[in-house]
Amino acid sequence: MTDLVTRAQLVLLARTLHVPAESLAHLEKLGAAGLHELQQRIARRIFDEHATTFRRVGMLVPVIPLSVSLPLIQRMVPPMMAGRAAGAVGVQHPKKAAEAVGMLDVSYAADCAPYMDPHTVGTLADVAPPGPVVAITNELLRRGDYVTAGPFLAYATPALIRAVEAGVHDDEGMIRSAAYAYSSVGISAIIRHMLHGPAQRMPRLLATVLSGPAELRTTALSVFARCDEDVIAALGDITFDIGTAEQNADFVRVAVEANATRELLTFTGHLGPSALDMLAANPVTGDHAVMSALAAEVADRLEPATLRGLVNLLERTDAETTRRWGRQLFEAADTVLVELPAIVTEARLWPALLRMLSEIDAETQTRLGEAWAKLPAADRDTLERRVHELRLDTRLATLTVTMNIYG
C-alpha cells in the first residue's frame, strides 16, 4: 500500500486502542498491510473477550419487545458498551437488529458506531434498512467522524450504495471517509456505481475535490489510486475534463509536495488516452521540481505501477521533456536496468517504452544496451523483434547493436 494509506491505518489502530495516534508513530514501519492486520487482530480479541456476556444479552432479545428495551438502553447504557454489544447481538438476531436500527435515536446510534465490530456490521449489511443507515452516516459526517464511517464502506451492499449516493450529500466527507477504508474492492465498487449510477455523482464530487483544500486532493488521490484500472480511467477522464488547466496542474503539484508521488504515478498509469494527452500538454510537465520527483520515485523504487505512470506520460510529452526525464530514468544502476525488462513486460509497457527510448540520445542507448546484453539470448531476441514490429530499427540501432556486441 502507500504512505497515505499507512497513516490512515495507524489512526484506525489508535482508535481501536483508544490512544493518540502520535503514540503509535513507531509502528508506521509495519506498513498499511501490517497495521491493518494488527488492528483486525486486536479488534477481534476485544470482542471475543466479551462474547459470553453478549450471548447472554442476546438471549433476552426475543423475550423483551424492542419498544420496551430500546428506550431503556438509550437512557441507561453507555454508547461504548451498547456499540460493542450491538454487533454481536445483531448477528444472533439479524431481523431484530434491522428493526432496532430504525428505532434508535440517530445521535445515540452515531455515538455507538465507533465501538461496533465492522465484521458483524458486514453480516448485518444485507438486512439493515438503508434509510436509517444513511441518517446515521450523515450524522457521522456532520461530526467529521470519518474514522468511524470509512471501515464500514467495505461492507456496503449495492442497495446501500444506491441509498448513500442518493441520501448522503457531503462529497468531502465521503472522500475523507473512504481514505480509512482498507478494502480496495469495496472502494472500487462504490465509486464504480457512482460513475455509472443514475445520479451521476462523480462530476460533482470531483469538482469538490479540485476546488477544495490541498489536503483533500491528496486524500482523494490516495483513494483513487487504489481503485480498479477501469475506475481510475473513468475518474481521470472526468477530472481532466472538468478541471481547468490550473486546477489540474495544482492537483499534480500538491501530490508531489505531499510526497504522494507513488499514488500520482499509479493514478497516471491507468489514465485513458484523452486524459493522458491533456496531462502531457499541461504546463506542469515543464515544472522541474515536479518531473524530477516523478522520475526519482520510479528510479528509487522500480515497480510496474509507477513505471507505467511515468512512461505513459513521457511518451506523450514534447520531445525535449521525453529526452530529459527519460534519460534520467535510464541512468539507474546497472542492476536496476537488468531488472527493467521483466518489470516492463509485467506492466505491458514495451511499445511505449521503446517509442520513448527512440527519442533518447545514443549515449543512453549504449549504456542500456550494455546492461541488457546480460539478458538471456531469448529475451534479447524478443526485444529485437519488438523493435522491428514498431519500425524503430533505425532509431534504436545503437541499442540493438550494443546489446549484440556485448551479449
User: Residues near 144 by Cβ (< 8 Å), separated by ≥ 6?
Assistant: 173
The DSSP annotation for 13-78 comes to HHHHHTS-GGGGGGGGGGHHHHHHHHHHHHHHHHHHHTHHHHHHHHHHTTTS-HHHHHHHHHHHS-
First to last CA, the chain: 38
Q: What is the pLDDT of residues 11-67, one digit of tens each?
A: 878 877 888 888 988 888 888 888 888 887 887 776 665 555 555 555 545 556 667
SS3 391: coil
pLDDT at residue number 281: 96
pLDDT at residue number 116: 78
pTM above 0.85, yes or no: no
Higher pLDDT, 156 or 254: 254
The DSSP annotation for 230-273 comes to HHHHHHHHHHHHHS-HHHHHHHHHHHHHTT-HHHHHHHHHT--H
Looking at the predicted structure, is the pLDDT value of residue 245 above 50?
yes
What percent of the chain shows pLDDT beyond 70? 89
Q: What is the pLDDT of residues 261-281, one digit of tens each?
A: 999 999 999 999 999 999 999
Kindly indicate the confidence band of residue 115, based on its pLDDT and cuts at 50, 70 and 90: confident
Assess contact for 167 and 200: CB atoms under 8 A. no
Assess contact for 224 and 267: CB atoms under 8 A. yes
Say which DSSP state 284 is in: G
Where b means 16+ CB within 10 Å and e means fewer, 98-117 reads bbbbeebeeebbbbbbbbbb
Cell of 87: 454487533
Kindly indicate the confidence band of residue 247, based on its pLDDT and cuts at 50, 70 and 90: very high
pLDDT at residue number 1: 41
pLDDT at residue number 91: 65
Q: What is the pLDDT of residues 354-399, one digit of tens each?
A: 999 999 999 999 999 999 999 999 999 999 999 999 999 999 999 9
